[in-house]
Structure 1
Amino acid sequence: MLTRYLSSPKKILILSLLYGLLAAFLVAGIHAFYQHAKREQRYQVLINDLSVYLESYFRELKVTADNIQPLTASTCRDVSAELTSRSAFHVNVRAFLLVKDEIAYCSSATGDMSLPLNEFVPDIDQNKDIDISFLQGTPMLPGKPAIAVWFRNPLLAGRGVFTTLNVNLTPYLLYTSRQRDIAGVALIVNGKALTTFSPNVIPASELPDTRIGERPLPGYPVSFALYGDLWPTDDIQISVLLGLFVGVLTTLASGYILNMRLQPGREILSGIKRNQFYVVWQPVVESGKLRVTGAEALLRWKHPQAGAIPPDAFIGYAEAQDLIVPLTRHLFKLIAADATTLQTVLPPGAKLGVNIAPGHMHAPSFKDDVLRFLASLPHGYFQLVFEITERDMLKETEAASLFDWIHQQGIEIAIDDFGTGHSALIYLEKFTLDFLKIDRGFINAIGTETVTSPVLDAVLTLANKLNMTTVAEGVETPEQAKWLRARGVNYLQGYLFSYPLTVRELVIWQRNRVLPEE
């Protein structure tokens, strides 16, 4: 029965799979995001490097243009040679053009010319200090895209330097070759782009969606962007495989650990060690004046996962698995811990009922366990009553001497739940006993016309002839109490008086209790 609450193979399998899946998702996710973060960090380093490269290039271009600006005050014939000389060694420059009143009148490549700049590059705004546009080609290289850059002369109105640059993205590709997942580079100006994806100028709207970073160029109306994959397939596959590997290992390890730890026997021992067991007390009242004269100690188990486990489940299993001895020893300790508080609510000589299984009575440690238990209680205050359960048969050859020894220690003996086991009549015949506790099944028959009713009368007659004290368990109604009192039952116990209570609850109940009317 206990396996239903704790350690069925199905539960262990489900828990193991859940732990495995959780570990798989966790490890795969952590690895994937770690790789993503590392890749993103490397991409940012790359973008920074490219930004430094572009800023340096355009800074040098600006210096060259500034050096050429004074030539715009002269005619092309006077400065053509110097213009060609100054532009000859600048990387990627096709030509520098001198502009006066929106007319390009001198070229470092061709010399004298007369070309309206707004016809050549309509997107350039000559009123700006610096402006940039893209060209699909130049007169000398019509099929080769170029970058057009305008530098206005700050001193002479209507004059400036215009230059066209070859579109050479090789330096950028050399930078990005360090990252195998970089797909391309793009320079973007006013909704147009020059990119490694196409040999021509294309609208920026046609760029791929795989942009991993974009950076504007300080001082210029241009930005550059990198394209690639922040979640490459290889990384995802590796993360999934790692997660599966860890998940399988976790499932196997969890199955082994749960199988070992969630076995009911181990769980009982673990529950003892972790103080998951506790004692509740059900008051026992004397039937004459309905005074509380004792209480029965009942062991309870609140498991952290399974919740409250019924006593019939864990006690029966403990007996079957030879764990009743450590469980009863733990019960003794819990009772001793409550004893001082019990003295405040129970009168001297109050009877404390404690369930003892035959399996413990026949254990080699039984006498030592009992003596330690007696020593842990307030001396002479309580009258112990060992309630012998009928789940297991007593060994007749040992039971008589054990009962004699128990009586010698001043402990009384009761048959618990009389009539539900196979050995009750044998106990009455063979041994000297003090109490007979009538099972609640007989009490429930009071006032009915069932076949059980005359049996209860017979039990009471037998107890009277044997001169045994009787205790009725499971009394729930005033009618039952009245019937039992009329027939001389000595003690009553049940929900009519109180549910089982913790020792603190018992203190409160004793202060506030109102006993049923007679």
Structure 2
Amino acid sequence: MPPLKRKRDYARIIIVLSGVLPLLLGIMFTAIDARHTLQQQQISAANTLLSQAEKMSDSAWDMITWLRQYHYQSCDNIEGKLQRAGTLNAYFRAIGKLEGQKITCSSAYGLNPGTLSDMMQRAPPVTGKAWWSLSLAGTAGVPNRPAVIFVRQLPDTKGFWAIIDGQYLMDFMSALGEARGYRFTMRFNDGAPIVVGKESPPSSSLFNTQRYQAQSSRYPISVTIETPGAELMRAWRQVMFIFLPMTAILSVLLMVLTANWLQRRISWRDEIRRAINARQFSVHYQPVYNNNTQTCGGAEALLRWTLPNGEPVRPDIFIGAAEAEGMIVPLTRHLLDLVADDVQEWEVAPGFHIGINVAAEHLQHPAFIQDMLNFAEKIKHKQLLITLELTERSLIKEGEDVAKKLDRLRSEGMVVAIDDFGTGHCSLSYLQNFALDYLKIDRGFINAIESLSGETPVLDAIITLSHKLQLEVLGEGVETALQYLYLRQRGVTFIQGYYYASPMENGALIAWLAEYGQQPLHREELHDAQLHPS
């Protein structure tokens, strides 16, 4: 299978996966969100139920506090008061007094209610505390309905008790959990469970029963909430109905973007090769002004690509693609051929600079030196000064080998410049380790110039350092008279940017050089900038 066809087959698979991925992620995230929503609902329900249980507990302990006023009174005298209090106060099944394990008074069972164990239908817990509460499966009077007993025992073996009817809690739990199918289990201490709700049937591992436990911070009350898997599935479906359209749109959009990206990615190599053969590439030249001679001192060669329909391809796109697809060396060689053809028509003074941008891959290529020597041979009769413009990234790998190559080309009369200085990672080490001739200051530093008398510390430091290292300085991206004057005052020799001249085709450059190439930069803007420096 041809490589390009194989890439396209892989691209189709990637496009399909890019469409499926948002759907899978949508299913996963909505399932997570549904579980989170369900848990928040459980937390809210548990807090509400615990709050109600605490409120009932407060009422029970308040009742016991009220009963303590009858500590030393006989049951005959307080029987009616107990019955009224037990009847008129909500939640209570019965209240009374206690002596040891014997119940001496009861609002519900008269004067001979029996023992505490008989009433509770179980032995009292051993807590070691003077007060305790316990959930019960039932009491002697109502054996089949849960209740909660609260007991306060005094040092003289006497005490008080109150029983809350569990039906209040059960009704509250039913109202709270019926809509969502909750199964509540509540316990006071280690007492009998008070259970409301159906037991959940077995379910799949994906939508299994969700269990949540909570504990009161004030009383020994615990609650467990079980939510059936069907409720989780219902919550997930609700979330899916909200997010599914968005997920579908994202899926389609991602497929389109992936398809477009892959189409460019897998076809750049062939497109660039076809464009070279069809001579769709051309060179634009941006003049460079020399402050010392006050004339045009050179031009930078900039590769441009125009499609047959007249539409241009952005340089950052096709150059980046050429680097990624291994086409930067053939593309640079094509640039050298185009420049060699163009300069045959130039009428410039000896030493006129021609700047060539060198990619890192080409610099490290075994044929780099020979490529540049061949180019120099083609244009030697024009006596141009070839300037190799390197980015800092070009010097990162194989530093020693690169230094040797640059030394060889410098010995052949070429000069070396670092382009976009200050935007890399190890600029100062390059100045020390490589033999350089020019330094091009990145336009980002020049854009910081706001007035002639102002300060741009980084820009000033770069200029000062360049002078001390005896490097010629070129300011890139100069667009205003203020920027030009600022650089000129600080001894910057070369100026490049729209303020002086825009990039232009070869024919336009020849005409421009004939008319403006020997003229100094004397404009009204310069005069105004000098009169109004800030």
TM-score using structure 1 length: 0.50
Q: Which structure: larger Rg? A: 1
State the TM-score, normalizing by the size of structure 2.
0.49
